[in-house]
Structure 1
Amino acid sequence: MALNYSIAMMGNPMNLEEAKKAYAKAQVSQELSLKALAKRVSSQTTASRADVTAVIIATVENMIDGLRAGEQVDFGDLGKFRLQITSRGAETAEKFSTANITGVNIQFIPGEDLKNIFAGM
């Protein structure tokens, strides 16, 4: 399977004087909707499309609850999800406060099987 990409000229944000360089940017060919995904899964299992949809929605809701509780959510071969905080530095630990926190992101760590599918692309 070929990886769809385009080429973009981008500068170094850490050094604006540096010449721009060409980088590959992955391109999405289309979107696999929840409805289409549930239809695919239901055709491969004994579960109905409605049941698959319900399970996916409940899984996402439970994942969000787990992340909010500070848990790392492990999806086995798919990978793991956990929260990652970005913050501004403080001179000392005592001077650090929640005001230093600038954002929270979801970090995804792919499982071994998922990492390996990109080896031949």
Structure 2
Amino acid sequence: MAQKYVVVERKNPLKPQEAAKFYAMARSNRRVDTDEVISRVSERSSYSIGELKGCITEFLLEMKNQLALGNIVLLGDMGSFRVTIATGNATETAEKFKAATCIKTSRVRFRPGNMLLDMCKAMKYTLVKKGESDEAVVPDPDEKPDNGNGGGGNPDDGNNGEAPDPAE
């Protein structure tokens, strides 16, 4: 199966005087919730829906607990999750730095592992043209177009090549 995409025209907000350019933007077929994933796994395994739901619920709770402790959660070849923080108000000295007033926010970042990186390298693409029926395609309203670097983001955006936080 190929990843569907559309071509969109965008201006560079950092260089508004330049002409707009065209970028690829991934199009999703639909959203798949946890219940559907659990149901599909249950159909091809010996685990019941209840067992899978319980395991996933506990797994996600433990992931949250480990992240809250400041740990990086490794999911094998799938990737890893970690917490990052952003400073809002820098200070002249370390002694003046106080978390309550200087740390702006914290975020959970996901870094894809080899399984997902290999999937992306082998990805095939299908253009969804204007006028074609793409009723099943649901655009992600939070998604930004891919600017040609393969990740949809800026390689110099300070994320060290990580995927953007989907909660932003």
TM > 0.5 = yes
The Cα shift of 1:93 comes to 4.0
One-letter code aligned to 1:44? R
Distance 1:15 1:97, change over 3 A: farther
What residue is the counterpart of 1:112 in the other structure?
Answer: 114
Q: Judging changes above 3 Å, is the alpha-carbon distance between structure 1 residues 5 and 86 closer, same or farther for their aligned structure 2 residues? A: farther
Structure 1 unaligned spans of 5+: none
- Counterpart of 2:138? none
Structure 1, 81-90 or 63-72: larger mean CA deviation? 81-90
Cα distance in 2 for residues equivalent to 1:80 and 1:21: 34
Does residue 101 (structure 1) correspond to residue 79 (structure 2)? The answer is no
Contact kept, 8 Å, 2:89 with 2:104, in 1: the verdict is: no
Instruction: Give 1:11's aligned amino acid.
Output: K
Give the TM-score, by structure 1 length. 0.86
The equivalences for 1:6-85 within 5 A come to 6-85=6-85
**Cα 1:44–1:120, aligned 2, differ >3 Å: closer, same or farther?**
same
- DSSP 3-state at the match of 2:82: strand
Q: Aligned AA for 2:116?
A: L
**Whole-angstrom distance in 2 between the partners of 1:66 and 1:34:** 21
- Cα distance in structure 1, aligned partners of 2:17 and 2:89: 26
- The 2-side partners of 1:10 and 1:103 are apart by 29
Q: Secondary structure at the match of 1:36?
A: helix
Name the Cα RMSD after superposition. Answer: 1.8
**Which structure carries more relative contact order (alpha carbon 8 Å, separation 6+)?**
2
Deviation at 1:89, TM superposition (A): 5.8
Aligned to 2:127: none
Query: 1 or 2, which has the higher strand percentage?
Result: 1
TM-score w.r.t. the length of structure 2 is: 0.64
Q: Distance in 2 between matches of 1:14 and 1:89?
A: 24
Shifted more, 31-40 versus 91-100: the winner is 91-100
- Which one is further off, 5-14 or 103-112? 5-14
Structure 2 CA distance for partners of 1:7 and 1:34, relative to 1, 3 Å = same
Report the CA distance between 1:11 and its aligned residue. 2.5
